[in-house]
Structure 1
Amino acid sequence: MSRAGKGGRVCALGVAGVLAGTVLVGCGDDDSGDGAQDTSAKAGAGAGGQGTQAVRSAYDRTADEDTAKVKLRVRTSAQGASQTANGQGVVDLDDGDSVMTLAVQGQRVEQRVIDQVLYQKLPKGQAPGGKPWIKIDLGKVIAQQGAGDGSMSDPAQSAAYAKAITDKDVTEKGKATVNGVETTHYRVSVDVADLPNGDTLRKQVGPTLPMDVWLDDEGRMRRQQLDMTVKTPEATQRSSSGASSAPEKVTVRTVMDFTDFGTEVQADEPPADQVTDMTGKALKQGEQQS
């Protein structure tokens, strides 16, 4: 697999998160006190060529480690209410396979991604068909979105924009300690129109997509933070029909940490007789939102 291909797989968890309802998209400063300690009094006005190259190569350098432990925090807010989801597990940075446990509103969800297929074991009594597991074929959903390779399906479009950014897109924000590791914090601004399926994405999230990354001394990603405000499909339809002048929006903040590079990843498919295939439903939802 090419380096660019491997680099794009770093955010494979983001693909699963989107389909699972924990949208891993967007960016911004995380003020939740989750372990990053700023050690620089002021941020630089720009990263310059060295910082830009560091951000460009971060996905590849992280993927070179093959595997890692991952911890994520997702906060979704809409209409004055918010919901927080936390997850932890391990991910294969090469092929995107992962095993995670998610906690949402006090309920536990086991999640696996194997060969671009998402499996989730929902709380007892919540899975359709009387079976404990559901699955969604991410490859088919990706094809419907017209994004091509699976690495391009994450809204952050990691491999695509990482190679396209210029010095004006990257700002060095200073030094910070993340999970005990000294890092450099960069903020990246991406022109959404330059991303695959950018015209559609632009309607949902606006013209630019900011992202924050914290890179260690070896150029590996230790934290990726995303914030995005998304206009809901229903609001888009009302706006186009003139029925409403105040579109509903959903704001999602996600922080994803990488630690313990080289951790073993053992991702096994659940027994077929315990799985309900929800791919068809996911495809229908995609058609309605397109």
Structure 2
Amino acid sequence: MKRVTMLAAVATAAVLALSACGGEKQSGAAAPAPSEAKSSLSSPLGDPIQLAALSRESTKKAKSSKMTMEAIAGTQKNTASGQGVYDGENSKLAMVMDSDGKKLDMLFIDNALYFKLDAEDKAELKTDKAYVKISPDGQDPLSQLLGKMMSKAVKESDPSRTLEQISKAGKITKSDQVELNGEQTNHYVIEVEAEKAIALIMGDIGIPLPAEAVNQLKAKLEGKNVKILTELWLNADQLPVQVISDQTAFVKAMGAPGDGVAKTTIKYTEWGVPVNLTVPPADQVGDMAELAKKAGGR
């Protein structure tokens, strides 16, 4: 179970980065995607609350996108690519990650996470199934540890929530208009207060922390005025095309060894393009609880 647990933890980190503190449930028929006609780029906004509201309405209309991610933590680098549907309880996410040369293929759909198993995974879990399922109501330790948190994070994965976090925990310090990948965008530089951002993240995704751990975290941050520097690029339809979050100051305040560099870059493309994700065939899916018992009995 060691390797499967490690891969699940890496996947969780990616989902949390993409979820950006959670989103809101959407209902009703799908709204039309942003107009195919080229929108004119409006002037950058100085009010983060107004910026968050406009972006939220835009992502409700577009509802889906493709994305890539690069996360750097010290000497470790993880990359991922995938596509998502941002629709509250009906959200779906498919992603392929590369962590230290190991590929991880995952799918979140119908409130459950599916890992695609390679030959090494199958040997460890003693199964010929193509997938293993982790669900919020699973009885195995891995599902109980990660299931509910990942379920909530993915269901609330609307990228516009990054801006809602900013409106509550940070301020816009600079804005300008720049070309990014051949597209004119509004570029924002935001300083997010680390203490406020952490409280929002833990509250939204429901990560329980002992009082002692919370006190230690507050003690390390107290009086340091630690900021998480975030850069956003929004297109003419107020849709994010790139988000860079630099957590270096935060991890250094936490006492991370080495150079302490920590940065996440997420790029969004093909907003509004239909995303077709389906549940794997039932006969190809192994139950995590049963496979855990089998692997533990070696």
TM-score class, shorter? 0.5 to 0.7
Alignment correspondent of 1:189: 191
TM-score, length-normalised on structure 1? 0.59
Which stretches in structure 1 are left out of the alignment for 5+ residues? 1-15, 27-45, 237-245, 281-290
Question: What's the secondary structure of 1:126's corresponding residue?
Answer: helix
Which stretches in structure 2 are left out of the alignment for 5+ residues? 1-7, 19-43, 138-143, 204-208, 291-298
Alignment correspondent of 1:118: 113
Report how far residue 58 of structure 1 moved: 1.9
Provide the rounded CA distance (Å) in 1 between the counterparts of 2:189 and 2:281.
43
Q: Does 1:67 align with 2:64?
A: yes
Question: What's the secondary structure of 1:266's corresponding residue?
Answer: coil
Provide the rounded CA distance (Å) in 1 between the counterparts of 2:265 and 2:243.
6
Q: 1:153-164 to 2 correspondence within 5 Å?
A: 158=162, 160-164=164-168
Report how far residue 48 of structure 1 moved: 2.8
Report how far residue 224 of structure 1 moved: 1.5
Q: 1:1-290 to 2 correspondence within 5 Å?
A: 19-22=11-14, 25=17, 48-49=46-47, 53-77=50-74, 81-85=75-79, 87-94=80-87, 95-127=90-122, 128-129=124-125, 130=127, 131-137=129-135, 158=162, 160-164=164-168, 169-191=171-193, 192-193=195-196, 195=200, 197=202, 200=214, 203=217, 206=221, 208-229=227-248, 248=257, 251-278=261-288
Distance 1:271 1:151, change over 3 A: closer
Structure number having the greater strand percentage? 1
Provide the rounded CA distance (Å) in 2 between the counterparts of 1:182 and 1:279.
50
Question: What's the secondary structure of 1:263's corresponding residue?
Answer: coil
Contact 2:109/2:279 (<8 A) preserved: yes
Distance 1:212 1:21, change over 3 A: same
Identity %: 21
Provide the rounded CA distance (Å) in 2 between the counterparts of 1:111 and 1:54.
32
Alignment correspondent of 2:27: none
1:192-226 Cα shifts (integer Å, max 9, x gaps): 33515368499299554432211112211111222
TM-score, length-normalised on structure 2? 0.58
| Bigger Cα displacement from structure 2, 171-180 vs 262-271 | 171-180
Question: What's the secondary structure of 1:48's corresponding residue?
Answer: coil
Question: What's the secondary structure of 1:64's corresponding residue?
Answer: helix
Report how far residue 104 of structure 1 moved: 3.3
Alignment correspondent of 1:38: none
Structure number having the greater helix percentage? 2
Distance 1:253 1:202, change over 3 A: farther
Partner AA of 1:58 in structure 2 = S
Computing the radius of gyration over CA atoms, which structure comes out larger, 1 or 2?
2
Aligned-pair Cα RMSD in Å: 4.4
1:88-137 Cα shifts (integer Å, max 9, x gaps): 23211224302233333444332211133222214321254224323333
Provide the rounded CA distance (Å) in 2 between the counterparts of 1:261 and 1:48.
25
